[in-house]
Amino acid sequence: MKFWMRRIAFYIITLWAAISLNFLLPRLLPGDPAAIMLGKLRRANGGRPLSEETIKAITSILGAEKGSTLWDQYLAYWGRLLHGDLGVSSTRYPAPVGELIAAALPWTVTLVGAATIISFVLGIIAGAWVGWFRGTWVDQLVPITTFLQSIPYFWLALVLVAVFSVQLGLLPIIGGYDVFEFPAGPEWTPAFFASAFVHALLPAATIVISSVGGWLLGMRNMMVQTMSEDYVLTAEAKGLRPSRIRTAYAARNASIPSLAGFGIALGFVVAGSIVTEQVFSYPGLGKLMIQSVQGLDYALMQGVFLVITLTVLAANFLIDLLYGFIDPRVRRDG
């Protein structure tokens, strides 16, 4: 019990630190969002002088915090956060940050989440296999996959689009669904889900291709190490079927370190894949993050970072719990 209490206390402190950092970091960036927005308005306005009223309205929304102390801003930040108010985006003014995140989150979680799981499962299965048949031709899979991983992601994506979408016309080029077929937006029909699935294929494939190598390499090496353990030798001496030794004895134990890595990878799923979303114009959080950083949109930045922080912490917490069950050594009180 004492172990769990300690873990929970640790997470509460981490949460507080993360949220406070989240408040502080955007303020360390150079530039003033009100100045940026006023500048944009001036250029967009085609020379029309901005009225005093407009300037006041903008600075009171985006630059109001200028006069108050950092501490007051910090308290106000917590106050709003506890009310569930993430503020108003300045780059997409006057859209509320909460709505933007809510619209982007399902896409990111589905696409990047599915791709991460596929990549992990593929990597573990193939890694176990390659490890088992170490020294034979299947070992070639290791350099091939690590090579694929080292290809710049956007280049890989461009080549895949050029071949499968532009040349062969098999797969769509952009979007989370067919905006030409469904101009009114997402609907709960099988046709829509089919469209969304087809649109996710290329982005997901790119993520898998460029990340499977890491899982495979890690798993293969653990597998090789596990196979030299005494219990594997014992199992072989007992005359167990090789396939049983491979899965139940070697692979099962070899996958434990990868599982920890998987937990962390899952936590980062919500951060999205910035480049994927950019190249495929795929809806998602990563894009919101980069746009908010570029446009110095503090509210959006903080909102996105908050969601990412919370999921990483939650994923870690889950893995902590899981680990406690799988491996008794970690939860020993003392």
φ, ψ (nearest 5 deg) of residue 273: -120, 100
CB of 28 to another protein, least distance (A): 12
Residue with smaller CB distance to another protein, 139 or 236: 139
Instruction: Pick the closer one to another protein by CB: 101 or 222.
Output: 101
| Closest separation in Å from C-beta 258 to another protein | 24
In whole angstroms, what is the distance from residue 203 CA to residue 172 CA? Answer: 10
For the bound state, the minimum distance from the C-beta of residue 105 to another protein, rounded and expressed in Å, comes to 12
Q: What region does 185 belong to: left with phi over 0, alpha with psi -120 to 50, or beta?
A: left
Measured from the CB atom, the residue of 62 and 312 that comes closer to another protein is 62
Provide the minimum distance between the beta carbon of 164 and another protein in the complex, in angstroms, as a whole number. 10
Give the Cα separation of 156 and 2 in Å (integer).
49
Nearer to another protein (CB atom), residue 80 or residue 92: 92
Instruction: Rank residues 85 and 327 by Cβ distance to another protein and give the closer one.
Output: 85
Of 52 and 333, nearer to another protein (C-beta) is 52
Long-range contacts of 131-140 (CB under 8 A, 24+ apart): 131/219, 131/220, 131/221, 131/222, 131/223, 131/224, 131/227, 131/250, 131/254, 132/223, 132/227, 132/246, 132/250, 132/251, 134/220, 134/223, 134/224
Residue 257 near residue 263, CB atoms below 8 Å: no
CB of 115 to another protein, least distance (A): 19
Q: Closest separation between CB of residue 83 and another protein, Å?
A: 19
State in angstroms the smallest separation of the CB of 216 from another protein: 14
User: Residue 46 or 84: which CB sits closer to another protein?
Assistant: 46
DSSP letter string, 80-131:
HHHTT---B-STTTT-BHHHHHHHHHHHHHHHHHHHHHHHHHHHHHHHHHHH
CA-CA distance, 94 to 66, in Å (whole number)? 20
